[in-house]
Structure formats: structure tokens, C-alpha cells
Amino acid sequence: MAAAELVRGQNHPLPGTRITVRLSSAHPAATAVLLTDESGRLANGEGRLVHAGSPELPGDRLAADGEVAVDLGALAADVHRLQLALLLPTGRTFRDLPAPVAAVAGPDGGIASFTLTGLADESALVAVELYRRAGGWKVRAVGQGYAGGATALLADHGCPDPSALAAALTPEVSAELPTTRRSADGGQRADGGSDGAGVVAPTGAPGSPINTVHPRRGPSGPAATTPAPEVPPSAARGPVDTTHPGRPSPPPPAAGPSGPVFAPPVPPSPSSPTTAPSAVPPPIAGDAAGATMDERLYNQVWGIFEDAARSAAAYRSAVEYADHRQDQEIEALLADPRMRFGPDAELGRLRARTRRDELEGRARAVLDRDAEQLREELQVVERAMPAAMAAWGSAAWTAWQPVAERPFALRLGDLHLPENPDIRVPMLTRLPLHRGLWVDTGSGPESAGPGSAPLGSADRKAFGTGVATAVAARLLACHPPGGLLLHAVAPGAGGPGGSGDAWAPFARAGLLAGPPATSRAEVAALLESLVERVDLVQMARRAGAPDTLPPHVDPADRLLLVHDFPYGFDDRTVARLRYLADEGPAVGVHLLLVADRAESREYGPLLDPFWRGLTRLAPVEQAYLADPWVEHLWTFSPAVPRPGDPALPALLEAIARHRR
């Protein structure tokens, strides 16, 4: 079976653990293997960097000719990735060299290959990586180049002294560079070959679509597909709110000799069709690292999230390249006055469009293959989710029983991309909450969905109230009976979507710790009591007796539900709320806010840090969250029961019954 030809960002399963990778370059180059942890950092400093001076690999070797042979099954448990790099000597770059090639093989023959086209001023690059996934191993086409050379590459992966080690690694060899000559079709090529279509692939010259990416942060735009180093699930910073009002924009991509440079991917050539992947074992729930089943499921969801992001990145970049190639072909036709009109011109345009559609079709086939695997894994994971992490329609809620201890994570909603809207990845947050939650009723789409009526201010507040009610109910269900007390600030008047609707279901079930605060005096008294609790717990912890609290202080955690902020607040109570948002989560006082930020604009920039310190939730489906790998814009759907679903009232009654 022919080896699969990968595009940048694409992955492919490995059928076994004994793997050979050959890195081929037209110019003599050093080969290095970085054994890294989940975050892409050297797992043990320099001791996990294999090069010509220390060619020992678990189970096999690193040969002088750029061939790396390894038994993945013999690797230490803390090694999650093998990143294979090429290093050119000082003063050399890949700009005028034929494209390097990475070929991956097993005992039974070729598995995958990757041609690293579109390189420019890079003198070091990570070609491919072998990484753990769902109990097995995969290979990913990376193609991450560094204009800063070996020093920048090693620094990016956590090497303690990158400059000194780079000097020892970089080969002091030279060879005549191949001359660039014009092929018969008029395109400039460095390898003297033909690309099979009479069109030159982008080579990094001025004007070509080179994507610049921050080290360890990901591409700067949605078209970039080269993956940033993976964020470990247990420490991932989570999706980034790209439309957070007042939040500074991320820094522009680094340029120049110190930053890594990424080139657009080249889809497989028509002469080498991508083969079907090897048989993939059926997915297993909890097939990820973790001390408990909940933690393993949480980490597995993060793995699905990353795979979906990278798969979509590979597809988008392949489509971008197909469009670029079509434009080049049509521009070449228009450059010849004899080819601008007539049947030959129309035939040339038709051929260009046909080739473009073929490339997109192959990329879509790969995307659909990946999507089917992710869909199957999500189905298995969803069935195993505990109630706190499950969707509202799950059987886990039908059979809900009080928990003896707090679960690992809480589900806030689902995330999906337009390429596969049916793949809904759960958006989970760790418990206890490290940040407050903010249901933003002041922004979002014009309507709740296709064919829906326009959303007004009252509609947004009504949807926001529903989201806050569902989240608060989940949080109550996540704690042992009496382990979380709910307080409400609801100074606004009633009506559909008003503050009364926010706390009414909890009041009916008897789950409020006291009457809702509806006046300025009541708001001030409630916040003062919570601030006092925070201070007392902090003092007890500093004294080394965290369980020693005055008799009037209930040791249970607190959830403060604030509706219609800043109504009912003055400068003093706003300061108290900010204090609770900053200091409360560490001592079990959590904040759930339903607010339109514009309504507090009279406070000016005073509240900017407050808003940025909260996790923002949209009340209806909205595309505003970016993943930490390639920064696609994901659509967030809040976790709320379907209209008329009795699950939420039944849950509140069950919680109240067990408390009694």
C-alpha cells in the first residue's frame, strides 16, 4: 500500500511502535530529535535532546544520514512527543533549496510522507512529530520553521542554554547550492523539476502567502494551519474570548530573524493519492492520562478539541492553497494577450477551476475521515460523562443522585466549527471555579438562529437568565447536599427575563440561602457578609487552621448570582464585588453575573480588569472563542435544557429534597 502524502497540519495513525523516519535535504543538515512532554517542552532539559553527538534513542538509533529509528513502546511515560528537526549550517537557509522530505515507515513499508514546500529564510525546522493519542501513536506533518535557526528552535522547546547547544549542533559544512533555473513552463524552480501543473508553488518570495506564527501560541490568522506546540489538557488556558469588550488584542506576529516562519501547505499531487488510514481501534471512554475517570474524560475531550482544530486547519489551508494555485494559473493566462479570449482561454480557465476543485475534494475527504473518527469518539465519551460534564439530555441527569465530593469539571456549553457543525465538543471548566462567570447580555448575533426574529434587549436578558439558571443548577448539583449556598442580587423589577426570573426557580425550591437582595441597603449587607467570610477563611488558612471558623460562618461554598448589574450598586458595593471576584474563588466564594457591560460604562476603565477576570458566556449561539492551538473562531452554544424540558425543575426539586 502506498504511503499517505500529508499536508501541513494533517495527522496519520501509526500501525505499530517500531518506526523509521528519514529526513532528506539537498544540503547537508544536522538531524535532531526532541523528546518532549505534552506541552512541547524538553521533558528533561538537554537530556531529552538526541543528536549526532548522542545518537542514543530508546530501542534504536539516530543515523548520520538523517534516518531516525525508534521503538516508541520503549519511551519513558513522560515523553509524549518526538519532534524531528533539520538544522542547516550558519548562513544557509531553505529559500533556494529543493523542498526537504520526511518519509515515515514501519516494518511493513511506507506509512506517510511530507514534502516541506514554501520555505524561505528558515535555517532550522521541525519537520514531523510522533505523538501519543488515545492509547496509540500518530504522526503529524508540522513544517514549523525558524528564521532564528537552531537557537530559536531550542529556546522554543525549553532548552536551558540554547545558544551554546545550537553551536554544537549546527553542522559546519558547506555544499554548492543548486542554481535556480526556469523550467520549460516558465516557472522558476530550484530543483529543475516540474510541479505537474505548469504553476510554481509559493516559495516565500515577497507577496507569497507566508503565515507568521508566535512560538508556542499558534497562527495569527484563521488561514494559518501549522500547529503551535500542544497545550497539556490539565494546564491548558482554554478557549480565548476574541471579542471580549475592552480586552487588548493579541500582539502581532513576530517578524524578522528571531521568529518562526510558517509556509502554506501543499496538498498531495494527483499522481500520489492519499491512501486510506490503517485500521483504527474503536474509541474507548477515558483513554487519556489522569488519576480519576473524570480527569481522563476531561483530558480526552481536550484531545478531541485539539484534533478537530488541527484537522480543520489542514483543510482550510489546503483550500487556501488551491485558490492561490487557481489564481496563479488564471493570471498566467491573462498575461498572454493571445490567451485572454476565445475557446482556448475558456478551456484554460475551466482546467484551472477543475484542478482547484480536485484539490479541495481531496482535502475534504481527509477532513471527513477525521471527522468520522472524532464523531465516534465523542459518542463514546458522551455516554460515559458524569452529570456535571454531560449534556442536559443525558441519562446521567435522569438518574441524578447527590455526589459525595465535587466532580472534576463542569460543562458550560458546546463548541463547533462551520466545517462540521454536528461535531459538538463539550466546553468544560475545572472545578472549583478559578474565575467568575459572566453571561453577557449586551452582545451577540442579531437573532437566535436562522429564521428567528431579531433579538432585542429584553430577549437577550431572557436568554441570559436561562443560561444563568442552568449554570447555577449545575453548580448546586455538583456539590454534596448543603455544600454550596446560593445568594441572589436582583434589584431590577420583574417581567420576562427580569431579575425575578433569575432567582424564582431557586426560591420556589427553597434553595436560596436567604431572601434576594433587592435594595441598595440589602445589596451592601449581602456583599459585606461575603467579604467578611472571605477575610475570615483567609485568616484561618494563614493561621494553619483552615477549618477553624466562627460559629456564625457556614463552611459551605457560596455562589453569588448577580442580575441586572450595576443596578442596586454604588461605588462601595462595586468595589466589594470586584474584591469578591478577585479573592473569592480561592476560598470558595464564586460569582455568576448576568449583565450588559455597556450599562456600567459610567465607571469607565475602572471595571476593565473586573470584566477581563471573568469567563464570558454568550446567551445564544455566537462565534467568539478561539482555541489555543490554531486560533480558529469557534461557535459557543450554552448548555441549557430544551424549551419545555422538565429536567431543570425536576433537578432543583431533587436537590431541595436531598437537602431536607
Amino acid 269 reads S
Percent of the chain with pLDDT over 70: 77
Query: Residue 204 phi/psi, 5° resolution?
Result: 90, 5
pLDDT in tens, 569-611: 999 999 999 999 999 999 999 999 999 999 998 888 889 999 9
User: Residue 289 class from Cβ within 10 Å (0-12 exposed, 13-18 middle, 19+ buried)?
Assistant: middle
Residue with cell 533539520: 86
Q: Which residues pair with 437 in a beta bridge?
A: 592, 615
Quick check: 437 pLDDT over 60? yes
pLDDT at 416 over 90: yes
Given a cut of 80, whether residue 656 has pLDDT beyond it is: yes
The 10s digit of each residue's pLDDT in 494-540 is 444 455 566 788 888 889 998 899 899 999 999 999 999 999 999 88
pLDDT at 430: 94
113-125 residue pLDDT tens: 898 888 888 999 9
Distance (Å, rounded) from C-alpha 27 to C-alpha 126? 16
- What is the reported pLDDT for 64? 64
Residue owning grid cell 478561539: 626
Range of 217-221, 451-455, 490-494, 549-553 with top mean pLDDT: 549-553
Whether the predicted pLDDT of 186 surpasses 80: no
Question: Which whole number is the average pLDDT over 97-113?
Answer: 89
Query: In terms of pLDDT, which residue wins out, 166 or 338?
Result: 166
Give φ, ψ of 158 to 5 degrees. Answer: 85, 20
Give the mean pLDDT of the chain: 78
Q: What is the pLDDT of residue 172?
A: 47
Query: Interhelix angle for 149-156 vs 162-169, to 10°?
Result: 130
| Predicted pLDDT at 169 | 74
pLDDT at 287: 84
Dihedral angle computed from the Cα positions of residues 429, 434, 436 and 438, in that order, rounded to the nearest 10 degrees: -30
Averaged pLDDT, 26-39: 85
pLDDT for the residue numbered 43? 65
Grade residue 10 by pLDDT with cuts at 50, 70 and 90.
confident
216 and 253 Cβ atoms separated by less than 8 Å: no
In this prediction, residues 383-391 reach a mean pLDDT of 94
pLDDT band at 638 (very low <50, low <70, confident <90, very high): very high
Strands, E assignment, 407-464: 409-416, 425-430, 436-440
What is the distance between the alpha carbons of residues 233 and 445, in angstroms, rounded to a whole number? Answer: 30
Note the pLDDT of residue 2: 65
Q: What is the pLDDT of residue 11?
A: 86
**pLDDT range class, residue 66, cuts 50, 70, 90:** confident
**So what's the pLDDT on residue 201?**
26
Q: What is the structure's pLDDT at 202?
A: 26
pTM of the predicted model as reported, rounded to 2 decimal places: 0.65
Measured between alpha carbons, how far is residue 379 from residues 285, 286, 392 in Å?
9, 12, 15
Contact 491, 518 (CB under 8 A): yes
Kindly report which listed range (179-188, 272-281, 439-448, 490-499) carries the lowest average pLDDT score.
Answer: 179-188
Question: For 261-282, what is each residue's pLDDT tens digit?
Answer: 333 334 444 444 444 444 567 8
- Confidence band, pLDDT 50/70/90 cuts, at residue 452: low
H/E run at residue 461: helix 457-477
Residue 639: the pLDDT is: 94
Q: What percent of the chain has pLDDT over 90?
A: 36
Residue 453 has pLDDT above 70, yes or no: no
pLDDT of residue 631: 84
User: Could you report the per-residue pLDDT of 193-211, keeping only the tens digit for each?
Assistant: 323 222 222 222 222 222 2
